[in-house]
Amino acid sequence: MPLYEYRCQGCGEISEVLQRMDDAPLSECPRCGGVLSKIASAPALQFKGSGWYVTDYGRAGKKDAGAATAAASEAAPKPPADPKPSPPTST
């Protein structure tokens, strides 16, 4: 929900209000009853979660390298496993 700032033209009070975007703007100051005007302010930017850099960008190279290694190991033929070792031959 966006945070809007209003300034009262009567008392100069600045207030912050959480409002939905489709809510009508406030028009009356709760402190003195004066006229409110909406003021432009810097947007709030919040990163939530365990870390956006680590999960989005930091591992991109590691995932690709891991996938390439896995693909290479799958493409290489593996020698068959010998269930019983053969007895040594004497000469």
- In-domain check, residue 14: yes
For the chain, how many helices (H) and strands (E)?
2, 3
Indicate the number of domains in the chain.
1
Top-confidence range, 37-41, 47-51, 81-85, 87-91:
37-41
3-class secondary-structure state, position 6: strand
- In-domain check, residue 52: no
For residue range 10-58, list pLDDT tens digits in order. 999 999 999 898 999 999 998 999 999 999 887 767 767 666 665 555 5
3-class secondary-structure state, position 32: coil
Tokens for 29, please give them.
């100051």
- In-domain check, residue 58: no
Q: Quick one: pLDDT at residue 53?
A: 62
- In-domain check, residue 26: yes
- In-domain check, residue 73: no
- In-domain check, residue 64: no
Tokens for 80, please give them.
């068959």
Which pTM does this prediction carry? 0.46
Residue 67 or residue 24, greater confidence: 24
Domain extent, residue 34, equals: 3-39
